[in-house]
Each structure stands twice: as structure tokens, then as C-alpha cells.
């Protein structure tokens, strides 16, 4: 067994867990609370060196809502888009989540990074290198003033939409089987948001965008096209996955895709049910590498935001994933690319050196 390969990851929802249990955040972080997929001891055990930490505003849940998880275990399914969350409702939630990330930084083992040089330094010093990311722009008003405030607070990555409408665009609903071409693209405010992100060099995340929104970003943005946590539609025809045409655009624009471990986006039958072994993971990675090249694929776990494969039950399972890649015939250079090198290079292309 070789020594731990550091993993830099495209997406996690750890801040959502802290939002839901703020009084337990110290015990969640130091691992005594257990549960979930992430905490500091398990990150250390798995070689998790850093990644995108998402600020995501939960949709209000009606008391009579259907059991969406049960529906997604029984494809075909097509979930409705949740109602928009107004700016005034989203703002204090986003503030609380960024507050939790700042609290994590004050504990000393995590650093919020805004440049690749800072990420490299944090990784070398053994601190978790965190990127402040927003999954959905509900906490930004259409005048975009708040974007500049969040940027000043360290925001360097933004998805204009989660799977929900915003002032900026229309997210892709969760559906299987389904094309990602499910509705309208960016609004005029969404186009302004893309231009402003380009000016500020904030990464624009294409995961959760529908196909027209994706194409609008491709037409407007001058940055590499990046989907932080999405898989291959040709392998799993979920609305959340990327078609070969989208992958070709991402390759042409020297972007990047992070592999999502959510079982419903990995299994070819679309069932959001866990599975043993690595076959779906390897099929997606082989397909992404064939279409994007070895330089443009990474990992984008969705830890603390999705159901994981049995053999990757939490972040401490990352060495088993890398071992499965070795057994599949991937060499050490490619594994290092997938694990962290490609993310750092892509961030350099977006943010500048
Ligand atoms: Zn997501």
C-alpha cells in the first residue's frame, strides 16, 4: 500500500450539516459526533487535502411533501423544481454558513483559500484548503452588489443555480431518464452575473444548470467551462449528467469535470441506491477521460449531500477508491492528476496564477 495521495475535491455539503446542527459543530468537526461523511479525523485518514465547501440554501420542506429519496430509488422519476427562495430569506442562511466556514478556519486546521498559491501552501502545511463556493445564487440580489461583498469575504466559485429557479436562471430538475435540456436558459440578470464573475475571476460552476443555461454560459463567459460535481450522461442518462456534446465543449474550452459519487448519478439504471464495488465509478471515469482528456477530470464527491457507494461510505474511504483506480490500470501520474493536480491547474486557469 503506497502512502496517501492527497485529494482535492470539487464539492461537499459539510456546511449544511453545521447549519442543521450548529450547537454540535465542535463535536462534528473533531469527529466525536460521528455520522455524515466528513470530519477532521476522517479527512486526515482519507488524505482529503481540501476542496469546494458549498453554501447551499435548503428549500423549505412542506409537511406533506413526497418522499423524494424513495422516488429516486425507483426510476423512472421526474421531480418538480422547488419554489424559488427569495433573496431576503436566503441571505441570513448564507451568512450563517459562511460564518461556520470562518469558524472552522479559526480552529486552525482549515484555511479559506482564494489563490492556488494559498491552496498549495495550506496543503504543504497540512491544513485543509477550503474554497468558499455558492451552490445557487439566491444570496445575491439581481443588482449584484452582494456578489462583491461575498467576493470580499472570499467567494471564488459560484453556481448561478441549484436545481431550482433563481433570478439568474433555471436549474435542471432531478429526472431519470432525462436529457438536461429541460427549460429556459439564463435571465438578463443571469447574463450580467456571468459577466461580473468573469471580471472578478470567480469560477462559474455548470453543475445543476440545464442545457440552455450551460450553452448561455459557454457563449458569454471567457473562462474555462467547469462542472464541479457531474457525471457522464452517456453512462447514466440523468438530467444532472453531462452529454457528450457538453463534454466536447468543456474540453474545447480547457475546463474540467469533477466526478460525483452520488449513487443515482453513477448507476446506469439511475437507482439512487447504494452498491458494492467500483464498476459504475470506473465506467464514468473512463468515459470522462476519453472525452475530456486526462488533464480535465477530477473528483467532486458530494460528501454530506448524497448517498455514497458502499465501499466509499465516507471520506476515510478515499484510499480504497484510489486503490480501485490502480487495480483498473490507471498509473500513478494519472491518479495524482485525478486526485488533485487537475483541480489546481484548472483553478490556475480560472483565477490566474
Ligand atoms: Zn449539487
Cα distances (Å, whole numbers) of residue 42 to 5, 45, 126, 310, 325: 14, 5, 14, 16, 21
Cα 188 to ligand 1 centre (Å): 24
pLDDT of residue 98 exceeding 70, the answer is yes
If you measure from the C-alpha of residue 301 to the centroid of ligand 1, how many angstroms do you get, rounded to a whole number? 10
148 pLDDT more than 70: yes
What are the cell numbers at 165? 429557479
Cα gap 27→207, rounded to integer Å: 31
Ordered domains of the chain (ranges, CATH):
7-61+83-351 (3.20.20.140)
Q: How many A from CA of 262 to the centre of ligand 1?
A: 10
Of 29-33, 58-62, 167-171, which range is least confident? 58-62
Neighbours of 16 (CB within 10 A): 22
* Cα 2 to averaged position of ligand 1 atoms, centre (Å): 32
Q: How far is the CA of 330 from the centre of ligand 1 (A)?
A: 27
Q: Considering the chain, what is the average pLDDT of its residues?
A: 97
Q: How far, in Å, from the CA of 136 to the mean position of ligand 1?
A: 9
pLDDT (mean) for 108-134: 98
pLDDT-based confidence at residue 41 (cuts at 50, 70, 90):
very high
Structure letter (DSSP) for residue 350: H
Q: What is the pLDDT of residue 26?
A: 98
68 or 207: which leads in pLDDT:
207
What is the whole-number distance in angstroms between the Cα of residue 164 and the centre of ligand 1?
Answer: 11
Q: What is the pLDDT of residues 213-265, one digit of tens each?
A: 999 999 999 999 999 999 999 999 999 999 999 999 999 999 999 999 999 99
229 alpha carbon – ligand 1 mean position (Å): 7
Distance from Cα 138 to the centre of ligand 1, integer Å: 14
Over residues 338-350, the mean pLDDT reads 98
Q: Is the pLDDT of residue 282 over 70?
A: yes
Q: How far is the CA of 69 from the centre of ligand 1 (A)?
A: 15
Q: So what's the pLDDT on residue 3? A: 81
The predicted model gives 61-82 an average pLDDT of 89
The CA 39 to ligand 1 mean position distance, Å, reads: 19
pLDDT of residue 66: 85
Confidence of residue 65 (pLDDT cuts 50, 70, 90): confident
Q: Which residue bears the cell 467547469?
A: 226
Cα 27 from Cα 38, distance rounded (Å): 12
Percentage of residues in the chain with pLDDT exceeding 70? 99
Query: What pLDDT score was predicted for residue 246?
Result: 98
Spatial distance between the Cα atoms of 82 and 110, rounded to a whole number of angstroms: 33
The model's pLDDT over 109-120, given as tens digits with 9 standing for 90+, comes to 999 999 999 999
Buried b (16+ CB within 10 A) or exposed e, 148-159: eebbeebbbbbb
**For the chain, what percent of residues have pLDDT higher than 90?**
96
Mean pLDDT, residues 41-61 taken together: 96
Q: So what's the pLDDT on residue 254?
A: 98
- Which uninterrupted H or E stretch holds 53? strand 48-55
Q: Is the pLDDT of residue 1 over 70?
A: no
Question: How remote is the CA of residue 175 from the centroid of ligand 1, in Å?
Answer: 14
More confidently predicted of 65 and 166: 166
User: How far is CA 293 from its chain centroid?
Assistant: 20
Between the CA of 313 and the centroid of ligand 1 the distance, in Å, is: 18
pLDDT of residue 62: 74
> How far lies 80's CA from each of 71, 210, 221, 263, 267, in Å?
12, 14, 29, 20, 22
Rounded to two decimals, the pTM is 0.98
Mean pLDDT of 174-202: 98
Amino acid at each position: 500500500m503506497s502512502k496517501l495521495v492527497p485529494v482535492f475535491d470539487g464539492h461537499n455539503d459539510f456546511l449544511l450539516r453545521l447549519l442543521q446542527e450548529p450547537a454540535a459543530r465542535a463535536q462534528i468537526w473533531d469527529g466525536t459526533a460521528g455520522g455524515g461523511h466528513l470530519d477532521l479525523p476522517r479527512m486526515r485518514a482519507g488524505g482529503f487535502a481540501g476542496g469546494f465547501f458549498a453554501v447551499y440554501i435548503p428549500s423549505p420542506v412542506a409537511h406533506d411533501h413526497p418522499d423524494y429519496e424513495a422516488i429516486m430509488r425507483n426510476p423512472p422519476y421526474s421531480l418538480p423544481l422547488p419554489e424559488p427562495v427569495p433573496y431576503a430569506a436566503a441571505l441570513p442562511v448564507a451568512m450563517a454558513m459562511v460564518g461556520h466556514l470562518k469558524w472552522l478556519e479559526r480552529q486552525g486546521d482549515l484555511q479559506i483559500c482564494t489563490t492556488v498559491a494559498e491552496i498549495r501552501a495550506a496543503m504543504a502545511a497540512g491544513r485543509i484548503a477550503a474554497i468558499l463556493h455558492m451552490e445557487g445564487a439566491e444570496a445575491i440580489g439581481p443588482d449584484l452588489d452582494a456578489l462583491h461583498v461575498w467576493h470580499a469575504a472570499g467567494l471564488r466559485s459560484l453556481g448561478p443555480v441549484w436545481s431550482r429557479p433563481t433570478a439568474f436562471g433555471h436549474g435542471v430538475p432531478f429526472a431519470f431518464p432525462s436529457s438536461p435540456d429541460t427549460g429556459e436558459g439564463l435571465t438578463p440578470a443571469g447574463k450580467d452575473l456571468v459577466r461580473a464573475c468573469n471580471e472578478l475571476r470567480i469560477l462559474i460552476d455548470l453543475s445543476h444548470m440545464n442545457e440552455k443555461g450551460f450553452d448561455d454560459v459557454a457563449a458569454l463567459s471567457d473562462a474555462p467551462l467547469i462542472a464541479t460535481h457531474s457525471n457522464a450522461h452517456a453512462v447514466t442518462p440523468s438530467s444532472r449528467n453531462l452529454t457528450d456534446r457538453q463534454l466536447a465543449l468543456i474540453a474545447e474550452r480547457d475546463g474540467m469535470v469533477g466526478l460525483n459519487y452520488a449513487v443515482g448519478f453513477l448507476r446506469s439504471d439511475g437507482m439512487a441506491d447504494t452498491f458494492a464495488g467500483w464498476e459504475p465509478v470506473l465506467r464514468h471515469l473512463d468515459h470522462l477521460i476519453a472525452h475530456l482528456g486526462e488533464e480535465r477530470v477530477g473528483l467532486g464527491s458530494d460528501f454530506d449531500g448524497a448517498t455514497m457507494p458502499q465501499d466509499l461510505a465516507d471520506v476515510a474511504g478515499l484510499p480504497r477508491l484510489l486503490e480501485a483506480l490502480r487495480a483498473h490500470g490507471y498509473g500513478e501520474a494519472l491518479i495524482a492528476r485525478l486526485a488533485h493536480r487537475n483541480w489546481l491547474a484548472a483553478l490556475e486557469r480560472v483565477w490566474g496564477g
